[in-house]
Amino acid sequence: MKKTIGILGGMGPEATAYFFELIIKNTKAEKDQEHIPVIIYSNPEVPARTDAILEKGESPLPHLLEGARVLRQAGAGFIVMPCVTAHYFLDEIVAREKISFLSLLDETLLYTLRKMPELKKAGLISSTGTLKSGLFHDAFAKEEIEVFGPEDEEQEQVMEAIFGKQGIKAGFTSGRPKEIIQSVANSLIKSGAEAVIAGCTEVPLVLKQEDIEVPFIEPLQILAEVSIVWAGYELKG
């Protein structure tokens, strides 16, 4: 049975657009009518997830619940969130909104176990909220995979690259933001990372597999492919 994909997005808008593009590019389709019906609820007014996790800001939960409700009522068969940090609130959303969610964290772990069964240590490039919440650390630790992030000074640079006035969320996907993210990735590799996880959905906008010498784990790519299958469609290639 084919299903409509519901995208709970806007966190940020460019990552949401990139995720939709991944769905389009990875769906086996030769004409418009063979693509997947997708409903996108992009709400950029959702309060900052990192601030909420660090107890410095308003909770995004009411906005996330509203978005999930809109998607359910609009006919989505299941929902995905192309925002890693928002998954901190996933259990509460699922408990209140009776609709299936695909977990970006769960699917990333399953992919990693399938493709890299010998992996023991992975470096994480993410927002400070995701890093402090332990979302990836806890999920991967169950399979005895150590996840570690940058040193404090480098993590501040990551936040600058993502959230700064000339950061990725402001539309800058070359120059300084790219240099920072690539430098941090290389630092993680020097510290023993056997793979690098794009723990923030903005990271793949500036970092690609060809930029680093170890496997690059891109949760958005993984989530897009699983979403296509869940919707009852075939993957391209």
What's at 223, amino acid-wise? L
Query: What is the structure's pLDDT at 237?
Result: 82
Catalytic residue among 11, 52, 86, 200: 200
Query: What is the structure's pLDDT at 57?
Result: 86
Asked if residue 125 has pLDDT above 90, the reply is yes
Q: Is the dihedral of CA 106, 22, 156, 120 positive or negative?
A: positive
Predicted confidence (pLDDT) per residue in 2-29, tens digit: 999 999 999 989 999 999 999 999 999 9
Tokens of 180: 């920072």
Predicted confidence (pLDDT) per residue in 145-190, tens digit: 999 999 999 999 999 999 999 999 999 999 999 999 999 999 999 9
Instruction: With beta carbons less than 8 A apart as the criterion, state whether 200 and 18 touch.
Output: no
Predicted confidence (pLDDT) per residue in 209-218, tens digit: 999 999 999 9
Q: Phi/psi class of residue 232: alpha, beta or left (left: φ > 0; alpha: ψ in -120 to 50)?
A: left
Asked if residue 36 has pLDDT above 90, the reply is yes
Active site residue 200: yes
Q: What gap in Å lies between CA 90 and CA 38, rounded to an integer?
A: 20
In the chain, the domains with their CATH numbers are 5-104+221-230 (3.40.50.1860), 105-218 (3.40.50.1860)
DSSP-derived 3-state class of residue 34: helix
Share of the chain above pLDDT 90, in %: 93
Place of tokens 């389709």: 29
Q: How far apart are the first and last CA of the chain?
A: 22
Asked if residue 138 has pLDDT above 90, the reply is yes
Count other Cβ atoms within 10 Å, centred on residue 101.
19
Catalytic residue among 83, 119, 122, 205: 83
Share of the chain above pLDDT 70, in %: 100
Tokens of 95: 């408990």
